[in-house]
Amino acid sequence: MTRYRLRPLVSDWDGEDLWVGALPHGPINRIQGVGALVLELLAETPDRAASPAELADRLRQEVEDVPEDAEQIITGFLAELDMSGILETIDGDGV
């Protein structure tokens, strides 16, 4: 199972969106909507990697009307952030 955790980054809210940049050289990404909440969930446990299924379950506890295919949506979102250097991928059951 693929799990993800945040890499060292900087972040700032502009009032509506979350801007995040991987340290030390970026890139800088604008995260909108529920994506920002997903990153906040990852930030709550920085030493522990989470799977898309775990994040979807936690999201359902925070937000009403989470779609049934949330795990698939989150998987794609996390893969994009992994390619941007925002996340670290952990394969297997590692923490």
The string of pLDDT tens digits covering residues 18-29 is 999 999 888 899
- Burial class from Cβ neighbours inside 10 Å (0-12, 13-18, 19+) for residue 74 reads buried
The model carries a pTM of 0.84
Residue 95: pLDDT over 90: no
The string of pLDDT tens digits covering residues 27-60 is 899 999 889 999 999 999 888 899 999 999 999 9
Confidence at residue 52, expressed as pLDDT on a 0 to 100 scale: 95
Confidence at residue 48, expressed as pLDDT on a 0 to 100 scale: 87
Q: What is the mean pLDDT of residues 65-69?
A: 90
